[in-house]
Amino acid sequence: MKPEHLESLRECCESDIAFERMQQILLAAEVEQQHLELKTLCQSLLANPVHSIAASAKRSHSLKSLEALVMERAADLLNTSGRWRQENVERRRAEKALQESEQRFRSLIENATDIIVVLDRKGVFRYCSPSAVKVLGYTTQDVVGCSTAEFVHPNDIPIIVTVLEQAIEHPRVSQPAIEYRVRNRNGSWCFFEAVATSLLDVPTINGVVINCHDITERKRAEEALLIANRQTVTLLESITEAFMSLDQQWRLTYVNQQAAQLCQRSREELLGQCLWDVFPDIVGSVFDREYHRALEHQVPVTFEEFHPSLNAWFDVRLFPCADGMSLFFLDVTERKQAQAELLEMSTALGNAVEGIARLDINGHYIALNRAYAASLGYQQEEMIGMAWQQTVHSNDMGVVNAAYQQMMIEGKAEAESMGVRKDGSTFYREMVMVAAYDWHDRLIGHHCFTKDITERKQAEAALVESQERLKLTLETTQMGIWDYECNTGIVKWSDSCAHLFGFDPGAFDSTTSAFLACVHPDDRAAVRQDVIQQTQQATNYSKEFRIVRADGSIRWIAERSHTFHDEAGKAVRVLGISMDTTDRKRFEEALSQQAERERLMSTIAQRIRNSLDLEETLNTTVSEVRQFLKADRVVLFSVEPNDTGLVTAESVDSAWLPMMHLRMEETYFQQSHLGYHRESNLVIANVQAIDPLSSFRRFLDRWQVKAVLAVPILHGNTIWGVLVVHQCAAERQWETFEMGLLEQLGTQVAIAIQQSELYRQVQQLNTALEAQVHDRTAQLQQALRFEATLKRITDSVRDSLDEGRILHTAVQELASGLEIMGCDAALYDLERRTSTVCYEHIRSDLPTANGITVQMEDLSEIYDWLLQEQCFQFCRTHSSPPRLLSQQHAILACPMVDDQGVMGDLWLFRPAGDAFTSQEIRLVQQVANQCAIAIRQARLYQAAQAQVAALEELNQLKDDFLSTVSHELRTPMSNMKMAIHMLKTVSTTDRQARYLNILQSECSREIELINDLLDLQRLEASAYPVSLETVDLQACLNAIIEPFYSRTSDREQRLTVHLPTHLPVITTDKATLQRVLAELLNNACKYTSPGNAVTLTVHCDEPLDAALDAAPLITFTIGNQAEIPTTELPHIFEKFYRVPNADPWKQGGTGLGLALVQRLIMQLEGAILVESSNGWTHFSIQLPLIKCSLPAANLAVLGR
């Protein structure tokens, strides 16, 4: 065989193994043919005996020539075979090296943090590396085929276009790096740095390669650094102290405004000047010595000194650093003057108009001035020795006592109380009590300073009344008042203003950042800029923006404000009002929607009239309607002659099931659309109002529909179809304008249908003329199509590890390549004897069967052949699973077989009169074999990936546990080390006792944590000792409950215990039972706020867990008046888990209590359940009871 013939043979074979096998067969056949020809020639030479003698010499010569010819041909065949065998070996080595290279490159691309994309000349993605999933959340399928404009920020699109043009103009030259923004799948914007290189002249790439690097974190860090620098400058400018910074040559590098004013020079004059040149008079002074000492020893220095040139006293603080030194100056001249005047003031106190008194440790007056005695109507001598309780009204005795106790603790206390004069009259006074100590720091009494505030109280009452009137006015007009202090950044809101923003009175954080947090994210940047401008430029200002309340509602707010400035022109205060303008905005939005509806109606009507393609018209209609109404699904049913409905056009959100090509049952369609014959619309705001047993309701539930709006499309006097809008996410109240819009569109669609029918008739005439030409070229095209189909499928599934993609590609290519009605792929479960349709591709009105599972016994006549690895075709004459066919179809069933047996099958559907040819059957068999091999590889890969993921999860669980245990063990040790350190430094006995208590508490906490961990380890290892004994529940429970009475009483909680009159005797581990009940009661007290209740109930009950079939049972229920969020309930029994923000007493804990309780109950062969609702949480424990004769209603209630 010639080499060119062998090359043609290679192209026809499926693989190299098949080619080598075919080559050996052909070579053997050719050798055999040569021997046959030789034998025939010999027989022909010996066949005529008459001429044998005469031709003997001639035969001898012919035989020798023939033998030489055979030897020559045999040698040629052997050489050809050896040459091609060597070429096959070399080609396999090259293919293996190529596969390894491709694998390394693919691994590099998939694990890279950068994204590599290839764009065509128009900026459309031709390739995107898999790292886009980790960085942006997009898969390759989401990106390829899309334009860059769909992902790049609109403001950055010109940058991309410019770089793309430059790269195309300069091929193979890397363009300068650019920065731009890309939309993440979650909606946020990410910053990228990219370098583009045009490789359009490289055939294997044919595009512009762009290497994209995510710089979002770097951008955020730069922005945070810029903000931090601005905040630092703002802080230094806002402080009241003068601040300067010096370098190592004593030059001024920074001066704030206060320092410039102090030096009476501008900043420009001071910056860069030497400190000693600016203040020459401090050379050799205390300032000079302290400055050099701080810089020489690198220690902070604080001192006070008089500055001669500035004629002022300063509190100076010096902070040296490696680059120089920072100086803070605080003018304390007034304080120094106050100290000088203190002595003069002490003399004047005796004659002060406010009351001043001195009391001993027992609360008796020992000295007082005339104003104090006069305010109570006494002489000074009369009050000496009098107790202070005689001068306080009985209603305010508690307030004064509380202030007195506060003074004893803190040394000073203030209070307002009602005083009682000598004649019995009362008055309001403000009291300040200051503790008095002797030289040995012992309490000897206190000083009391009083001031008559009766007039102020009367003014406050009048002010409260005025504020109530103002509050009522603001609430009625939906207005609020706010006050912003520019220096402190504090915002004060009125209650009505807080109500506008959705806060309870007093709940607002009173900061600018808290206010900006309420602003809608889209308006926040503009509002922040407005705040800056109104404090820097404007006097009167107004703005309008949106806010988001805590309940998620969005409101429009309009604000008007006035800015107040100080003498220097600096803004110090902004006073403004806020008004709710949501209703006005909604009215404006309604007007805008009406204009948009009219524009949309005009646009759709124009598109419908200009198009003769009915399918395009219907698709345009449903797409525009869904976009305008913001619906989840819009479908158009066409009415068949037998009164069934077929979905001919659909626009659906990706979150909901598609209904395209759905054929509706005759009975359902007649029931649900009976009203259309009377030209009425179908309006359903909530499908829950429909009879749940009706076929219409079942159909809506199947397709996840919550609300329906439908209008008929009339063609003359008959119904051509129905335009239906579905809301799947939630119920919806349909507006009148929405119904009117659909009715108008129904009329326009009816006009388009008439136009389309006329156009279709013309097209049918044209199609009939072209049919003859098409039939004559069909055979050649079919052969080429089959070859291309097989190549596409083989190339697609060979390198894929995705089982779904393999089957999806196979059924789609077969259905399209063979031009059949549909194709589906099913996978077998041989243990359950079932077949499940996993993927299908339908090209006609063939009903769907995707996801349907069939028992093989139901179609044994088909699956017996398939399980025997037989490929066959048959005709279905009746409707049966998996696909309910309404008419006969020709079906080709082909099994997918690998070395382990049959794993599934491929079914192909055609009309009953159109059988599959042998060429088509061979194509399907080849595809089935390729799919079987690819699926086996994919399953092996998935199994390996699952094992790797399981090992990683186990390793993560180990790391998390070790981290948590280390943290919980380290915390008490740190506290103990601090307590030991403080014990070494303190000298007073009370502080030593305090730190000893801390040390003992943390030691107990450490021991408790270690014991809990050991108990958990023993419980998990089933090594926890259980000592069963007979337990008297009455005595046991009394011992457990008694300590909790005093504890709940101290915390103002109510403890109620429900016990049977006669508690039974049970057999269990007494210590474990006591530990469990005490832990649950302790948790109940810990997480219950003051004023709420804790309960314990004991009774006989049925088992909580079906696995506990022993009866009867004893049940312990501990409840407390606090609710656990539903999202936290599944985690409360996990180790080290604590419910966030649920501990009102701030006692802390390890998070091991409930985990131990659960495992201890399991050790006692019991069950524990928890439920939390309506403000209560109940833990119920059931333990097996040998005998329980307790009446159900015989309970005694104990409580304190």
Same domain flag for 29 and 118: no
Mean pLDDT confidence for 382-393 = 90
Q: Are both 103 and 117 inside the same structural domain?
A: no
Question: From CA 659, how far away is CA 703, in angstroms rounded?
Answer: 8
| DSSP per residue, 390-423 | GGB-GGGHHHHHHHHHHHHHHSEEEEEEEEE-TT
326 vs 508, residue with greater confidence: 326
Residue 549 pLDDT greater than 70, yes or no: yes
In our burial notation (b when 16+ CB lie closer than 10 A, e otherwise), range 786-805 reads beebbeebeebbeebeebeb
Residue that terminates a domain, selected from 933, 949, 965? 949
CA distance 478 to 577: 10
Q: Of 918, 920, 919, which Cα lies nearest the Cα of 906?
A: 920
More confident residue, 780 or 1093: 1093
pLDDT band at 70 (very low <50, low <70, confident <90, very high): low
Say yes or no: 672 and 789 in one domain.
Answer: no
The pLDDT tens digits of the residues spanning 341-380 come to 665 655 555 555 688 898 998 889 988 888 888 889 999 8
CATH code for the domain in which residue 1176 is found: 3.30.565.10
pLDDT at 114: 83
Q: Are 686 and 705 in contact (CB under 8 A)?
A: no
Say what the pLDDT of residue 378 is: 92
The answer to whether residues 181 and 191 touch, using CB atoms and an 8 Å cutoff, is: yes
Q: Which residue has the tokens 């499928």?
A: 793
pLDDT at 1196: 32
Q: Residue range 277-294: average pLDDT?
A: 83
Distance of alpha carbon 1052 from alpha carbon 524, whole angstroms: 46
Give burial (CB, 10 Å; 0-12/13-18/19+) of 966.
exposed
Name the H helices within 172-274: 216-238, 257-263, 267-270
Return the exposure string of 388-406: e unless at least 16 CB atoms fall within 10 Å of the residue's CB, then b.
beebbeeebeebbeebbee
Distance between first and last Cα of the chain: 109
* Same domain membership, residue 696 and residue 603: yes
Predicted local distance difference test score (pLDDT) of residue 34? 60
Domain boundary among 538, 553, 580: 580
Closest CA to 982 of 970, 994, 972: 994
User: What is the full DSSP assignment across 821-855?
Assistant: SEEEEEEEETTTTEEEEEEEEE-SSPPP-TT-EEE
Residue range 970-986: average pLDDT?
74
The predicted structure's pLDDT at residue 542: 80
What pLDDT, on a 0 to 100 scale, did the predictor assign at position 1094?
92
pLDDT tens figures, 694-707: 888 888 888 899 99
* Per-residue confidence (pLDDT) for residue 635, from 0 to 100: 92
Residue 1191 banded pLDDT, cuts 50, 70, 90 = very low
Q: What is the pLDDT of residues 888-916, one digit of tens each?
A: 788 999 999 988 889 899 999 988 888 88
Amino acid (one-letter) located at 871:
C
Domain boundary among 107, 124, 157: 107
Task: Read off the DSSP letter of residue 868.
Answer: T
pLDDT for the residue numbered 944: 84
**What is the tens place of the pLDDT at every residue in 220-243?**
888 888 888 788 777 777 777 888
Residues 66 and 35 in one domain: yes
1094 contacts 1055 by C-beta, under 8 angstroms: yes
CA 765/CA 770 separation, integer angstroms: 9
Pair 474, 558 in one domain: yes
In a domain, 730, yes or no: yes
Please enumerate, as own/partner, the contacts of 314-321 that have beta carbons within 8 Å and a separation of 24 or more: 316/287, 316/290, 318/290, 318/291, 318/294, 319/294, 320/294, 320/295
Q: Is residue 1063 situated within a structural domain?
A: yes
Is the domain of 292 the same as that of 161?
A: no
Angle, CA 564 vertex, CA 560 and CA 568 arms, to 5°: 150
Burial class (CB in 10 A: 0-12, 13-18, 19+), 1007: exposed
Q: CATH no. for residue 164?
A: 3.30.450.20
Whether residue 34 is found in the same domain as residue 97: yes
User: How many domains are contained in the chain?
Assistant: 8
Rounded mean pLDDT of 634-652?
A: 85
Does a structural domain hold residue 1164? yes
The two structure tokens encoding residue 874: 């048959």
Helix (H, G, I), strand (E, B) or coil at 445: strand
Which of these ranges, 304-313, 407-416, 803-812, 1105-1114, has the smallest mean pLDDT? 1105-1114
Q: Over the stretch 1148-1188, which tens digit does the pLDDT of each residue have?
A: 566 677 888 888 888 888 899 899 988 899 999 988 875 43
Query: Does residue 866 fall inside a structural domain?
Result: yes
Quick: pLDDT tens for 710-746: 888 887 777 888 889 999 989 988 888 788 888 888 8
Q: Are the C-beta atoms of 735 and 753 separated by less than 8 Å?
A: no
Structure tokens at 302: 């604080």
> What CATH number did the domain enclosing 628 receive?
3.30.450.40
Residue in the block written with tokens 């040459």 = 83
Query: How would DSSP label each residue in 310-374?
Result: TTEEEEEEEEEETTEEEEEEEE-HHHHHHHHHHHHHHHHHTT-SSEEEEEETTSBEEEE-HHHHH
Q: Is residue 632 part of a domain?
A: yes
In Å, how far are 816, 902, 907, 908, 924 from 895, measured between CA atoms?
A: 20, 6, 9, 12, 10
Q: Which residues pair with 418 in a beta bridge?
A: 428
Residue 103 φ then ψ, to 5°:
-65, -40
Instruction: Give the residue numbers spanning the domain of 400.
Output: 350-452
- The residue ranking higher by pLDDT, 329 or 772, is 329
465-479, 642-656, 676-690, 760-774: the lowest-pLDDT one: 465-479
For the CA atoms of 624, 628, 634, 639, the dihedral, rounded to the nearest 10 degrees, stands at -60
Does residue 202 carry a pLDDT above 90?
no
Indicate the burial class of 1056 (C-beta count within 10 angstroms; 0-12, 13-18, 19 or more): middle
How far is the C-alpha of 89 from the C-alpha of 371, rounded, in Å?
119
pLDDT digits (tens, 9 = 90+) for 796-844: 777 778 888 888 888 888 888 888 889 999 999 988 899 999 989 888 8
Residue 823 is predicted with a pLDDT of 92
State whether 597 and 556 are in the same domain: no
pLDDT, tens digit (0-9, with 9 covering 90-100), for 91-137: 777 777 777 766 666 666 666 678 889 999 888 998 888 888 888 88
Query: Once rounded to an integer, what is the mean pLDDT over residues 308-314?
Result: 80
Chain segment 245-284, per-residue pLDDT in tens: 888 888 888 888 888 888 888 888 888 888 888 888 878 8
Mean of the per-residue pLDDT values of the chain = 79
Give how far Cα 1017 sits from Cα of 147, 612, 1020, 1156, Å: 58, 77, 5, 10
> Coil, helix or strand for 39?
helix
- pLDDT at res. 1186: 58
Strands 1093-1101 vs 1054-1060: parallel, antiparallel or unpaired? parallel
Nearest C-alpha neighbor of 6 from the set 32, 35, 34, 27: 27
pLDDT at 1188: 36
> Looking at per-residue confidence, does 993 or 4 come out higher?
993
* Shared domain check, 1170 and 1052: yes
Is 100 inside a domain boundary?
A: yes
Closest to 374 measured CA to CA, from 422, 429, 323:
422
**pLDDT value at residue 33:** 65
Percent of the chain that is helix, strand, coil (3-state, to 5): 50, 25, 25
* Residue 657 forms part of a structural domain: yes
Residue with tokens 């209590």: 1153
Residue 158 pLDDT grade (very low, low, confident, very high; cuts 50, 70, 90): very high
For residue 959, being part of any structural domain is answered with no
Residues 356 and 306 reside in one and the same domain:
no
pLDDT digits (tens, 9 = 90+) for 175-186: 888 999 999 989
What angle separates helix 56-111 from helix 3-12, to the nearest 10 degrees? 40
**933 and 1046 part of one domain:** no
Residue 1021 has pLDDT above 80, yes or no: no
